[in-house]
Amino acid sequence: MTEGAPHEYKESSGTCEDCGNSPVNHFEHYVSNSLAVWTADSLAGDGGIFALIARWTGSLFDHIEQSLLRGLSAMPFARFSREVAGATTYRSQVIWEEAMRRGIDMEHLMLFGRGTEIYRARLAGKWFYFQSLPIPHYKRSESTGWLDDKYLLKNALSRAGVPVPHVASARSLQEALDAVGQMGSAVIKPRSGSRGRHTSVNVREEADTRKAYGSARKLCRHVVVEEYLEGPVCRGTVVNGKLVGFFRATPPTVEGDGTSSIRALIETRNAARHERVQDIVLTEEHRRFLARKGLEDDTILPAGDTTPLTHRTGRLFGGATREMLGAEHPKLRGYLERAASVLGVSVVGFDLIIGDPESDPDTQRWGIIEANSLPYIDLHYLALEGVPSNVAASVWDLWSAPMHSQSVDARGVRATMSA
C-alpha cells in the first residue's frame, strides 16, 4: 500500500444497470465514442483529406496543449490544490504519492471548486501539465489516437501474431446477427468505451442479440461483436516496453451443494464475504447472464458445480482480485510486451481473458480484448491478494528514460490489417 488516504475505488452507483458501477450520461458518451471511432478510422486510414486533417489536428494539439492548460489555469474560476487526498481518482493519487516520494512538486487543477483529471508537475524547473498520467510528449505515439478502438486494436495485434478473439464491427442489427451466427457465442459491446459499460456476453440467440445490440448502441454508433472467451479478466500494464503490473480479477461465483438454490448460495456467500468485497446483489443483468447459461436464480446446482453470476469481475461486484506480477507465464509476458511494441506506446494497459495466466498461453484459447492508453494503474495496488506493484514509479521513470519516440505509423497498421 502507498501513503495517504485509504485506497478504495472512487466510484458511484447509478440507475443504469448496463453501466455497472460507473454510470455515465448516455448521450454525451454516444457522441464522444462515435466521434472517437471516426477519428480512429481516419488516423488508421489509407490517406485522404480526413486522415490528413485528423493527423494535423492531433499534432497541433500536442504542440499547443501546454499553452492551453496554462491559460486555463490562469482563469479566475481555476485554482490549484496541493491536497493529494483530493485527487479525482486513485490512478492519479498513486502517481501523486510517488511524486512526493521523489520530491516532485505536483498540483491538481480545480475548476469552479471541483476537481478535474488535469494535474501539473514541476520538472527541470518548469511546470508540465498532464491528464491523469505524466507521460512525456516525446513518448507519445500516433497509435494512442486509435488503440482504444476495440476493432482496430484486435486487427492490428492479430496481424502481429498476438492472440485476440475473432472480431467484427457492426453498424446495423443485421450485421450483428450475422456475426453472432458465425461465432456461435459472442460478446457485444460499444466499439469505443470503457469499464465494461453496456457489454453483453455469451450472446447466442436472436432475441439476446437484438437486446445486446440495442444496449451497446446507446453508447456508440458502432458496435463490436467478438468471440466469447471464458476465464478470469486480467490486466497487464506495460511501461517503456516492460510488463510492470499483472492483475487478475474473477467474477462472483457460487458452488453448488446439491440442495441450495443459486439465490440461497449467494446469501451464504455474502454472509462470509471479505470486508473489502461488496455484496452480490442479483439484478436483471445477472438474471439475463444466468438465462443465457440455462439457469435461473432458483436453480439448484449439483454438488461441486460452479457458475459465475455476471461478466463483471472484481471485488466491487462480489468477485476476487489478485496482483500476480512475476507469477505470469514468461510467454504471456512476452506477448504483452510484444503487443506494446507493435502499438509503439510507452504506457498501456491490456485487458485479456485467459483461463490460467501461470500456464503456457500457447496451450490455451485466450486473447487481448482491450487496450487502455490511460490505464487505471491503481488496480495493481488494490487487489485482495498478492503484493502491490508500484506502477507509478515506472511511469515517473519515463522522464529519465532515453529521449526518443517509439511512434508507429497508423497507416502502416491499416495496410497490414487489410493485407
Number of separate domains in the chain: 3
In a domain, 202, yes or no: no
293 and 389 belong to one structural domain:
no
Q: Note the pTM of the prediction, 2 decimals.
A: 0.84
Helix (H) or strand (E) holding 65: helix 49-73
In a domain, 403, yes or no: yes
339 and 351 belong to one structural domain:
yes
Q: Which residues pair with 323 in a beta bridge?
A: 247
CB 346, CB 240: distance < 8 Å: yes
In a domain, 150, yes or no: yes
User: Tens digit of pLDDT for each residue in 372-385?
Assistant: 989 999 999 999 99
244 and 272 belong to one structural domain:
no
pLDDT band for position 321 (50/70/90)? very high
pLDDT band for position 77 (50/70/90)? confident
Least confident of 37-41, 63-67, 89-93, 293-297: 63-67
242 and 366 belong to one structural domain:
yes
In a domain, 197, yes or no: no
Average pLDDT over residues 318-336: 97
Q: In the predicted model, is pLDDT for residue 56 greater than 60?
A: no
Can you read off the three cell numbers belonging to residue 126? 518548469
Compute the distance between CA of residue 205 and CA of residue 208 in angstroms, rounded to an integer.
5
Compute the distance between CA of residue 221 and CA of residue 173 in angstroms, rounded to an integer.
11
Q: Using alpha carbons, select from 105, 106, 104, 111 the residue that is nearest to residue 73.
A: 111
What is the percent of the chain with per-residue pLDDT over 70, rounded to a whole number? 84
Amino acid identity, position 82: R
Q: What is the pLDDT of residue 407?
A: 41
User: Tens digit of pLDDT for each residue in 152-185?
Assistant: 999 999 999 999 999 999 999 999 999 999 999 9
In 218-347, alpha helices (H): 262-271, 284-291, 330-343
Least confident of 39-48, 310-319, 358-367: 39-48
Q: What is the pLDDT of residue 299?
A: 96
Domain range for residue 103? 44-134
117 and 139 belong to one structural domain:
no
In a domain, 116, yes or no: yes
234 and 361 belong to one structural domain:
yes
CATH assignment of the domain containing 391:
3.30.470.20
pLDDT band for position 194 (50/70/90)? confident
Domain boundary among 266, 295, 310: 310
Label residues 48-65 b or e (16+ Cβ within 10 Å = b): eeebeebbeebeeeeeee
Q: Using alpha carbons, select from 154, 307, 282, 168 the residue that is nearest to residue 230.
A: 307
Average pLDDT over residues 317-326: 94
124 and 142 belong to one structural domain:
no
Amino acid identity, position 354: I
In a domain, 211, yes or no: no
Domain boundary among 310, 326, 354: 310
Question: pLDDT higher for 49 or 142?
Answer: 142
In a domain, 216, yes or no: no
Q: What is the pLDDT of residue 193?
A: 84
Residue carrying the nine cell digits 484486435: 154
In a domain, 225, yes or no: no
Q: How many CB atoms lie within 10 A of CB 412?
A: 11
65 and 103 belong to one structural domain:
yes
245 and 336 belong to one structural domain:
yes
Q: What is the pLDDT of residue 408?
A: 42
411 and 272 belong to one structural domain:
no
Q: In the predicted model, is pLDDT for residue 392 greater than 70?
A: yes
404 and 266 belong to one structural domain:
no
Q: Which residues pair with 236 in a beta bridge?
A: 246, 350
Q: What is the pLDDT of residue 63?
A: 59
Average pLDDT, the chain: 85
Q: How many CB atoms lie within 10 A of CB 47?
A: 10
267 and 400 belong to one structural domain:
no
Q: What is the full DSSP assignment across 323-385?
A: E-TTTS-HHHHHHHHHHHHHHT-SEEEEEEE-S-TTS-GGGS--EEEEEESS--GGGGTS-SB
Q: What is the pLDDT of residue 43?
A: 62
Domain boundary among 310, 339, 359: 310
Average pLDDT over residues 311-340: 95
Q: What is the pLDDT of residue 89?
A: 92
Q: What sign does the dihedral 90-95-96-97 (CA atoms) show?
A: positive
Q: Return all residues near 174 (Cβ < 8 A) that are at least 6 apart.
A: none
